[in-house]
Amino acid sequence: MKKDLYDEKDDSSIYLANVNGVVIAFVCAFLLTITVGAVVLCSIAAKKPSNVNNAGSSITEIEEDSRMPLAEKIVNETVRVPGATKIDTGQTSDEINTKDAVTESVKDTESTENIDVAEATTPGDTDVVDENNSNSDTQNNAITDPKWEHALTPANQEYVSMAFAGDILFDPNYAIMNKIRQNGGGIEGVIGGSLLSYMRSADIMVVNNEFPYSYRGAPTEGKTFTFRADPSSAELLNQMGVDVATLANNHAYDYGEAALLDTLETIDNVGVARIGAGANLEEASHPVYYLSDNGVKIAIISATEIERIDNPDTKGATDNSPGVFRCLNIDKLLSRIKEAKATGAFVIVCIHWGTENQEAIDWWQQKQGPEIVEAGADMIVGAHPHILQKIGYINGVPVIYSLGNFLFNSRELETGLLRANIYKDGQVKLQFIPAIQSGCTVSEATGERKTAVLNHMRQMSDGISIDDEGYVQ
Residue 266 · residue 126 · CB < 8 Å: no
The full set of domains in the chain, from first to last, is 142-472 (3.60.21.10)
Residue 404 · residue 388 · CB < 8 Å: yes
DSSP category for residue 69 = T
Pure H helices in 256-384: 256-269, 281-284, 331-342, 363-375
For 117, other C-beta atoms within 10 Å of its C-beta total 21
Q: What is the pLDDT of residue 115?
A: 62
Q: What is the pLDDT of residue 473?
A: 87
> Cα 191 to the chain's mean position, in Å?
15
Q: What is the pLDDT of residue 26?
A: 58
Q: What is the pLDDT of residue 310?
A: 85
Q: What is the pLDDT of residue 32?
A: 55
Nearest C-alpha neighbor of 241 from the set 278, 270, 284:
270
Q: Which class for 103: exposed (0-12), middle (13-18), buried (19 or more C-beta within 10 A)?
A: exposed
Q: What is the pLDDT of residue 359?
A: 96
pLDDT in tens, the chain (473 residues): 333 433 444 444 444 345 455 445 555 555 655 555 554 444 444 433 333 333 333 323 323 333 233 333 222 333 222 222 223 333 333 332 333 333 333 333 344 455 666 544 333 333 333 333 333 344 444 445 578 999 999 999 999 999 999 999 999 999 999 999 999 999 999 999 999 999 999 999 999 999 999 999 999 999 999 999 999 999 999 999 999 999 999 999 999 999 999 999 999 999 999 999 999 999 999 999 999 999 999 999 999 999 998 889 999 999 999 999 999 999 999 999 999 999 999 999 999 999 999 999 999 999 999 999 999 999 999 999 999 999 999 999 999 999 999 999 999 999 999 999 999 999 999 999 999 999 999 999 999 999 999 999 999 999 999 999 999 98
Rounded CA-CA distance 303/285 in Å is: 7
Q: Which residues on neighbouring strands pair with residue 151, listed in sequence order?
A: 291
